[in-house]
Structure 1
Amino acid sequence: MRPTGEHEELRSAVRALLARQPDASAWRPLTAQIGAAGLAVPEEYGGAGCGALEVHVVMEELGRALAPVPFLGSAVLTTQALLACGDPARLPELADGSVVGALAWAENGSWEPAAVRTEARRGVDGAWRLTGVKEHVLDGADAGLLIVAARTDAGLSLFETAPDARGLRRERLVTMDSTRPQARIVLDGTVGRPVGRDGDGARVLRRVTDLGCVALAAEQVGAAERCLELTVAYARERVQFGRPIGSFQAVKHRLADAYVRVEAARSAAWGAAFAAAEGAAELSRFAAVAKSACSEAFSAVAGEMVQLHGGIGITWEHDAHRYFKRAHGCGQLFGAPARHRERLAAELGLTAGRG
């Protein structure tokens, strides 16, 4: 399978829009004009009824532009959580972009379902109340819909809670990558509505993690490709010793290595996207490979961008530092590359220490 002409048309439309509006204001036209927020939402709930390949295309373009929009947190994580739960009530609002969703499950620096310690207890009035602390919640400070993972007697479950509910506090975090807003959410007896089946949360979160990694890999490829483009252009115009620095063999080798990294990462990312689109049973393996390979490729290429730009590459005015920070943040999001290699080894029945 290969990307179709429709995929390229979608890419062109998103790239043109982000060229005009590369900041947070792009979210409204992305949802209203392109329907980005509802790409993965079935048509019966107001979405486009598309899938992982269309999401991949959009994520690549968002990565190129480092667009600070809530697509990953709302259109991917929250939407896929509700779809996996079989609870579509809020999907129309997510699909038209009128509501931004946030999925809160990470705790103590881990996205593993086993790390969740937030508790949900049913009171005498029959209401569920949540108590715990969530970290690294994408767009959590501004979201109009919060889905929270918490433990019940039946196991890990998901709950919907109102952002202004009593006992809920949202703290906007100061992150190294300012283009990806995150929040810390404190729950102290906050009322929540069960989403999906009680005790089904671990399965849902594993599914969301796989699809989140697949989408993030696409973003990393788009950003890494843009880093390479900007660095090649600079190497052609920057003159040293009477020659463009791109004519020096050492620089050529470094750029060639960066190109190989980008293309290898692209293959891994598209492979994972096709696996997700086809509903492959091996999706977790593809997702682990893509997250690991694309994280390391983006970090390496962003680092070369800073190095080969020389002094200007470490200035605040140049975009190099923004890509470098995004690369570092992406690498840790949903778990570091080493964690996903361990996950892949477990999937293949190998020990993590073997090569």
Structure 2
Amino acid sequence: MNATPDLLYSETEDDLRAAVRSLLADRADAQTLLARIEQPSPYVPGLWEALGAGIGAAGLLVPEKLGGQGASHREAAVVLEELGRAVTPAPYLTSAVIATETLLALDTDQRPVADLLAALASGERTAVLAVPLSTAPGAPLPATDTPGPVPAVADAVAADVLLVPRPDGLYAVPAADAVITPLSPLDLTRPLAAVDASGAAGTRLADADRAREAVRRGLLSGAGLLASEQLGIAEWCLEETVRHTKERHQFNRPIGSFQALKHRMARIWLELVGARAAARAAADALATGAPDAGLTVAVAQAYCAMAAVHAAEECVQLHGGIGMTWEHPAHLALKRAVSDRTALGSPGRHQDTVAALMDLPAPERTLL
């Protein structure tokens, strides 16, 4: 097992959080997002450039010698916490984490790999791994060299480059050479698309064995840091619920003073504390290359996914009538939380992973 993980935030991470939160408050507040989701593209113009290049968030995981910031998964996790809090439409998880980590697992001395990493780190380009959003680390990958699209690829509509796994290796395919068909997702802030790259040649980046391990690393990092996004969702939902129940009065009293509502919010808080510990442990395990990173990530996903959904459901319910309306951002958080619950492996699948790694009986369940 790994040494005791560092769950605390460093001063650098706190500074990064403040910068990202300030940017999102200025460029992508709730009202801006509510207006954008009515349009064909939810992405806020100029936001990715400011986040990826201006703050340098796109290159956090890329070493300095390859043009990045040379930071770690801990810093990337902080960015995702803030993106989760604001339910921001941005290809950060898909490009700056999953695609970037996939490329870093390849031979970075190769010119095509190094050049693409430098472009991703600068925010000049975005890349997406062409697998369904629901694909868990270690799960079988769809065949992408046969006719027919790969379904539910997240942020493909925003990508410049597609990383396409094929039986003989991993290929970089210009997005313009593939057929990308937008789908109608539950979460309007994270667009999904069907991607058909079977007719595009692309540039071969790795052989089959190296590609398989690289994709696994990319998906594992994505799943581990997705827990931080789920943590951010839960944090916002609890804070917004507490604020609302302090201001909303019934019988000349704040509804937050009612014991039944206090108990419900207390339960969310307890789950939030556990989610923070699990998410930070996963980020630290990935950052340090801990041998039990796979287990830590599975634990984080099995817990944080459900904690985020519960917090979002309670946020909608405890807001009463206003929480059910399109004008209030609570539905954005709920839809992102529900969508994230099946992203990169369901909680049930991650529970099975924990059971297998710890040689325990698999849990019995009826859902997920």
What is the TM-score with the length of structure 1 in the denominator? Answer: 0.91
1:106 Cα deviation (Å)? 2.7
Within 5 Å, give how 1:161-200 maps onto structure 2: 161-165=173-177, 168-200=178-210
1:124 alignment counterpart: none
1:117 Cα deviation (Å)? 3.8
User: Percent of counterpart pairs with the same letter?
Assistant: 40
2:99 alignment counterpart: 78
Counterpart-to-counterpart distance in 1, 2:266 and 2:359:
35
2:143 alignment counterpart: 118
Contact 1:105–1:111 (Cα < 8 Å) also in 2: no
Contact 2:68–2:122 (Cα < 8 Å) also in 1: yes
1:136 alignment counterpart: 152
SS in 2 for 1:274: helix
Amino acid at match of 2:118: P
1:196 Cα deviation (Å)? 2.0
1:150 alignment counterpart: 166
1:239 alignment counterpart: 249
Higher relative contact order (CA 8 A, sep 6+): 2
Between 87-96 and 311-320, report the one with greater CA deviation.
87-96
1:104 aligns with 2:130: yes
Between 182-191 and 143-152, report the one with greater CA deviation.
182-191
1:27 aligns with 2:48: yes
RMSD: 1.7
2:85 maps to which of 30, 49, 64? 64
Amino acid at match of 1:42: P
Between 133-142 and 47-56, report the one with greater CA deviation.
133-142
Within 5 Å, give how 1:268-347 maps onto structure 2: 268-347=278-357
1:89 aligns with 2:115: yes
Amino acid at match of 1:105: V
2:276 alignment counterpart: 266
1:112 Cα deviation (Å)? 5.9
Between 110-119 and 226-235, report the one with greater CA deviation.
110-119
1:17 maps to which of 6, 16, 23? 23
The Cα offsets for residues 307-336 of structure 1, whole Å up to 9 and x where unpaired, read as 111111100101111111011001010111
1:210 Cα deviation (Å)? 1.4
Amino acid at match of 2:152: H
Contact 1:275–1:282 (Cα < 8 Å) also in 2: yes
Distance 1:94 1:321, change over 3 A: same
1:44 alignment counterpart: 65
Within 5 Å, give how 1:2-13 maps onto structure 2: 2-13=8-19
1:77 Cα deviation (Å)? 0.8
2:226 alignment counterpart: 216
What is the TM-score with the length of structure 2 in the denominator? Answer: 0.88
Contact 1:102–1:140 (Cα < 8 Å) also in 2: yes
Amino acid at match of 1:258: I
Counterpart-to-counterpart distance in 2, 1:302 and 1:114:
28
Distance 1:294 1:74, change over 3 A: same
1:164 Cα deviation (Å)? 2.1
Amino acid at match of 1:164: A
Counterpart-to-counterpart distance in 2, 1:114 and 1:285:
15
SS in 2 for 1:195: strand
1:123 alignment counterpart: none
Counterpart-to-counterpart distance in 2, 1:51 and 1:221:
18
Contact 1:78–1:101 (Cα < 8 Å) also in 2: yes
